[in-house]
Amino acid sequence: MPNELQDTMKRFVNFLNFTRSFFIRKNPFKALAATLIESLKNMLTIRQKLKMAKYRVSYHKHQLHKMESLIAESNEHTFLKAKNLNELR
């Protein structure tokens, strides 16, 4: 009986040592704190990110419209779009 108790205590101490080593290596509380802080930063800066994304989308739409108009101007079939005739004709 005392040997079984000693074996159980050794196993329990061994488990506690493994647990302590895991917490030293991984430190889940520190990881949780870092994740929470990063989430808070993202939540507080979401409006600024949204504004930047909207600006980028509108800028690319403007560039696309500009490109399409330049292509339409140099196209020889502009009369089909009811715009001014191509001056090169």
Report the amino acid identity of residue 53: A
Query: pLDDT tens digits for 24-71?
Result: 998 988 999 999 999 999 999 999 999 999 999 999 999 999 988 888
Question: What pLDDT is stored for residue 15 in this prediction?
Answer: 95
Q: How far apart are CA 10 and CA 81, in angstroms?
A: 88
Rg (CA), the chain: 34
* Torsion angle of C-alpha atoms 71, 77, 80, 85, degrees rounded to 10: 90
Structure tokens, 41 = 């930063």
